[in-house]
Structure 1
Amino acid sequence: MQVSQERKRRRKPRAAPVTKTVSKSIFETEYVKHGVWGLALILTLWTLFGSVQSSRAHYYFQIAKNGLVAFSVGDFSQQDAIITAAKAAIEIDPARANYHETLGSLYEYLALNVIAEKHKDKDTIMVQRQWLDLAYSHYLKAEDLRPYWPVTHANLGMIRWRQNTIDEQLFTHITNAHRLGRMKAEVHEFIVQIGGALYLSQHPYF
């Protein structure tokens, strides 16, 4: 009996149970969760914004394209609205070569409308030059964005010709248009017009 009590006294106290601490993944913490959801929301909104902007630019571009058809038949009644729409499309999406090409063509038609007038004064001639300069600048931008499109080079050459500027730059435009798209109808028409005019004028460049 005494031995049993002695053993009880010698018994080691039981160790406390070990509690395992499981660390959470970094993606399970509240701050990171909120951050991920916030980033996803921002990306979604940005994508939606880009889609809306693209649709708006296309809407204005369609107005400009329809205006180009109207200008080609001599209807300039909606001139301000059409030019404004073409500019709006470019402002929203300035990296579209066809937007600049279309605005350049609109300005070219405005210049042609002035050229067709029988009686021109100093102010009218100045306006004509301004339209041609604007057309040329937008064709240059289109060329910069889409350098291998032959029609742009033909348009640049035609504007140069209408400006009565017969120089190396004009012949560079002619060469590029022919090299990149000799089979394009617009390029063929341009070269025939320029070639015929140079031949009739007996220009030394011809």
Structure 2
Amino acid sequence: MSTQRVWKGESVAQRRADRRSRLLAAGTRLLGSGGGSAVTVRAVCREAGLTERYFYEAFTDRDELVVTVYDRVAAQTREVVARAVADERGDLETRARATVQALVDFLAEDPHRARILVAEALVDPVLTREGIRVAPELFGLLVDEVLPARTADARDRTLLATSLAGGIGATILAWCAGELDIGRDRIVEHAVTLISTMVRGSAAGEPS
């Protein structure tokens, strides 16, 4: 029976997992601060304090790392939004406010997240397809909760979620980057007004 070698109390698998985590953290910092052009194998290894041998042990290439970084940030954001939607009950504005507050606070906590989730998905070719899929999905969680049950057309849901993702996502990104000199509460209320107006407009357009 084979046994894993242990070094300084860690198995081979544990050391590999630790190195992969360090590479992901380095990739997140670089992508979130310098954009896709800053993420090269050499730069990531330097940031993580590892050699290229260990990079290719964890990832096939730079593109796989970038997609993994994006997917991880998207999954964390999805969890935050889903929890806010599920926990809040009430009218449209109440649920929208709770969701946007959770989203804004999560992205503001680490501005790298907003840049990765919104900006880099628009400019990095590797992430474009991921961004087109993920951003509407996040707001779709809210749309599914607040649209009337008779709204059965998936195309309407997708159009509404995509429009909300583009408008609110860009606004939060600009705010996190310091380009909007306004308070957090005003950002939230602006987003709530946008959601309410668009959702009600979509519902009013549905046949009775």
**TM-score (structure 2 length as normaliser):** 0.33
Task: Report which structure shows greater RCO (CA 8 Å, sep ≥6).
Answer: 2
